[in-house]
Amino acid sequence: MKERILIDSSTLVAIINKRDDFHDWAVQTIAKLAYPFLTCEPVITETCFLLKNVNNGEDAVMGLLSGSKIQIPFHISQEASVLRELMRRYQSVPMSLADACLVRMAGLYSESKVLTLDSDFRIYRKNRNQAIAVIMPENL
């Protein structure tokens, strides 16, 4: 089965924003991975919000989508009860909707890794008790 890379907003921001502390790491890391990356609509929304003051930031996000480097195979309406339960379980972290979607996607795609700068993904569990494989800088 093909390994799928799930990408979060922290990594997308780092890729696009050249002033981000992790820009070099993110660009070097994605150069070693195969497209397309998978994500969800809340990640795209969050990323656009975080890049609203970066010149062409939102356009770069949309370019990744229209260029098929990122795909969105996930439908929130079909997973609402699972997402709700995840967000309740991790409310002390707290878990965003975007993170809940990626955790659920990690459970749906068994051969997946989450490309992230968010150490909460070391806490989250897919399928109730399984660690989520992550790609992140070692110092996080």
Of the chain, the percentage scoring pLDDT greater than 70 comes to 99
- Taking 80 as the threshold, does the pLDDT of residue 2 lie above it? no
- Does residue 77 sit in helix, strand or coil? helix
Please state which CATH number belongs to domain 4-135.
Answer: 3.40.50.1010
Residue ranges of the domains in the chain? 4-135
Per-residue pLDDT tens over the stretch 33-50: 999 999 999 999 999 999
- Say what the alpha-carbon torsion angle 49, 6, 25, 42 is, to the nearest 10 degrees: 10
Long-range contacts from 75-83, C-beta under 8 angstroms, 24+ separation: 76/40, 76/41, 76/42, 76/101, 79/104
Q: 125-126 and 130-131 as β-strands: parallel, antiparallel, unpaired? A: antiparallel
Q: Residue 94: is its pLDDT beyond 70?
A: yes
Average pLDDT of 82-107?
96
Whole-structure pTM value: 0.94
